[in-house]
Amino acid sequence: MSRRCLTCGAEFPDQTAFCGNDASILVEVQPPGDEVDPRLGSVVSREWMITAVVADGAMGRVYEARHVATRERAAIKILHPHVREERVSVERFKREAETATTLAHPHVVEIKSFTEQPDGAHVMVMEYLEGEELSVLLRREPKLPFPRLLRIAAQTALALEHAHGAGVFHRDLKPDNLYIVRGTDGDVVKILDFGSVKREDEQGAKLTAWGTTLGSPFYMSPEQAMGTQLDRRSDVWALGTIVYEMVTGKIAFDAPNPAKVLVRIMSESPPWASTLRPDSPPALDDAIERALVRERDQRTGSARALAEQIGAALGVAWPLEHLAAATEAELAAAMGGAPVPARLSGSVPIARASLGGDRPSLDRPTNPERPVSGRTPHARAADPARSAETWVPADRSTASSSSVQTSGTPMLLWIVAGLLGAMLAVAMAFAAWIWLG
């Protein structure tokens, strides 16, 4: 690949941004045989020159761009022509831009502008990120080191707390929507795709079309699978499943098709993380399980509580802000018993826990006396339904069809409820698609 100066015609290596002759912005030269993209070299939103194609997806294309005056680098997302004819897709695109702009948080992707072009194209200008989605990282490194996964979880929780405080629920949190930018101090998380958000005070029609309800079922909360009213605890569930995946390298609720995934969400519990990863402390099992309680009134009540419980389980019982700001090296040292770094001024550990010692108290927000899922944590060893030998969920490239026993509610009731919920969700999505299409 190379880049060409549109002024003098000279070509330079692909990593070169500006012409060595006249300092003009360089534009990517498309490989021979590729379909010519007429947007390359054009200026959109009156100030951004499109310089290269970054990615192409089902909904749209992402470009690299440079500001014509400041030379700032940015990413530009433009919907495909056939997609912008779908009213729901356009409205979701607008909502993504509006929500991210309103939130304005260091761990939410920055949206610089959103405009409509004379040809009808909608252009979203975003900060340019160099990194990869968490899903890509997990395919390469299925089980992340504890300091790294704690930092990722804490930064994600910090952004969710900010969004929830503004009355915004993401509703589609998953590894594909967590972008990881690698830095010298560790990862920096950016939450993407706020097109599925729900505002707490929203009364209008849902922006739902065929394929959106069941688009990413692996991380759906039970209430989302059933099509009932959602709140911030749905995002807590999703974050809990992501943490489980970062610890074990396995999707918590995996199955060959969306319907079976929903049945598992409604009726089964994944194996304890410690059975899939021997160095994982039992306290981490408890913290994850509290986030994955099907009765949301008994679930961990906030993203902050979940992240702080995970930190405490790993021996770093710090406030969320310090967990998110600490470097991976500082978190690793804290897990070994080191004190709080001086630079995190004002941070006093609220408790201490040891990877090999007693577990901290992780009482859930409501009714802490009630055991999670009808079990007390110390009953783990006697619970064959949660052992890795009973059911090990598949990784991202395969799917397991084996089942697991449930405790408490009869299996048949949960299966029927799950299937009815799945059918209802599909019916509602289809009806919305017909109505809005």
What pLDDT does 388 receive? 58
Mapped onto helix, strand or coil, the DSSP state of residue 429 is: helix
What pLDDT does 164 receive? 94
Same domain, 237 and 342: yes
Q: Which of 26-35, 113-122, 350-359, 390-399 has the lowest mean pLDDT?
A: 350-359
Containing domain of residue 338, as a range?
Answer: 132-424
Question: What is the distance between the alpha carbons of residues 295 and 298, in angstroms, rounded to a whole number?
Answer: 6
Contact assessment for residue 189 and residue 159, using Cβ atoms and an 8 Å cutoff: yes
User: Tens of pLDDT along 323-338?
Assistant: 999 999 999 999 998 8
Domain-ending residue, one of 127, 152, 178: 127
Could you tell me how many residues make up the chain?
A: 437
> Does the residue 368 lie in any domain?
yes
> Does the residue 320 lie in any domain?
yes
Question: What is the distance between the alpha carbons of residues 133 and 189, in angstroms, rounded to a whole number?
Answer: 9
Question: What is the distance between the alpha carbons of residues 124 and 78, in angstroms, rounded to a whole number?
Answer: 7
What pLDDT does 418 receive? 52
**pLDDT at residue 207 tops 60:** no
User: Tens of pLDDT along 78-119?
Assistant: 999 888 888 888 888 888 788 888 888 999 999 999 988 888
Q: 327: closest CA among 186, 154, 188, 189?
A: 186
Token reading at 256: 């060959």
Q: What are phi and psi of 94, to 5 degrees?
A: -65, -40
Mean model confidence pLDDT for the chain: 80
Same domain, 43 and 142: no
339-363 average pLDDT score: 51
> Does the residue 250 lie in any domain?
yes
What pLDDT does 414 receive? 43
65-76 average pLDDT score: 97
> Does the residue 15 lie in any domain?
no
Token reading at 228: 């009932």
Same domain, 272 and 393: yes
pLDDT band at 227 (very low <50, low <70, confident <90, very high): confident
pLDDT band at 213 (very low <50, low <70, confident <90, very high): very low
Token reading at 101: 């702009």
Same domain, 404 and 283: yes
Same domain, 56 and 136: no
Query: What CATH number is given to the structural domain containing 73?
Result: 3.30.200.20
DSSP state of 351: B
Question: What is the distance between the alpha carbons of residues 45 and 55, in angstroms, rounded to a whole number?
Answer: 20
User: Tens of pLDDT along 142-195?
Assistant: 999 999 999 999 999 999 999 999 888 888 899 999 999 998 899 999 999 876
Q: 151: closest CA among 103, 174, 185?
A: 185
Question: What is the distance between the alpha carbons of residues 362 and 307, in angstroms, rounded to a whole number?
Answer: 11
Contact assessment for residue 388 and residue 248, using Cβ atoms and an 8 Å cutoff: no
- Into how many domains does the chain fold? 2
Same domain, 289 and 354: yes
> Does the residue 383 lie in any domain?
yes
Contact assessment for residue 280 and residue 347, using Cβ atoms and an 8 Å cutoff: no
Same domain, 41 and 97: yes
Same domain, 141 and 118: no
Same domain, 85 and 115: yes
Residue 261, classified by CB atoms within 10 Å of its CB into exposed (0-12), middle (13-18) or buried (19+), is buried
Question: What is the distance between the alpha carbons of residues 288 and 280, in angstroms, rounded to a whole number?
Answer: 12
358-369 average pLDDT score: 36
Query: What CATH number is given to the structural domain containing 321?
Result: 1.10.510.10
Q: Which of 8-12, 98-102, 166-170, 221-225 has the lowest mean pLDDT?
A: 98-102
**pLDDT at residue 381 tops 50:** no
> Does the residue 11 lie in any domain?
no
User: Tens of pLDDT along 382-428?
Assistant: 455 565 554 444 444 443 333 333 333 333 444 455 556 556 555 55
Residues that are catalytic: 172
Domain-ending residue, one of 76, 105, 127: 127
Same domain, 264 and 243: yes
Domain-ending residue, one of 127, 149, 181: 127
> Does the residue 25 lie in any domain?
no
Same domain, 277 and 229: yes
> Does the residue 41 lie in any domain?
yes
The region that residue 166 occupies, defined by phi over 0 for left and psi between -120 and 50 for alpha, beta otherwise, is alpha
User: Tens of pLDDT along 279-294?
Assistant: 999 999 999 999 999 9
* Residue predicted with more confidence, 220 or 199: 220
Same domain, 90 and 203: no
pTM above 0.85, yes or no: no
Task: Please list, in sequence order, all residues whose beta carbon lies within 8 angstroms of the beta carbon of residue 50, skipping any fewer than 6 positions away.
Answer: 27, 39, 40, 41, 42, 43, 44, 63, 64, 65, 76
* Residue predicted with more confidence, 250 or 56: 250
**pLDDT at residue 36 tops 90:** no
Token reading at 168: 């915004």
User: What single string gives the DSSP state of each residue in 300-353?
Assistant: ---HHHHHHHHHHHTT-B--HHHHHHS-HHHHHHHHTTPPPPTTSTT---SB--
Q: 252: closest CA among 213, 295, 217, 215?
A: 217
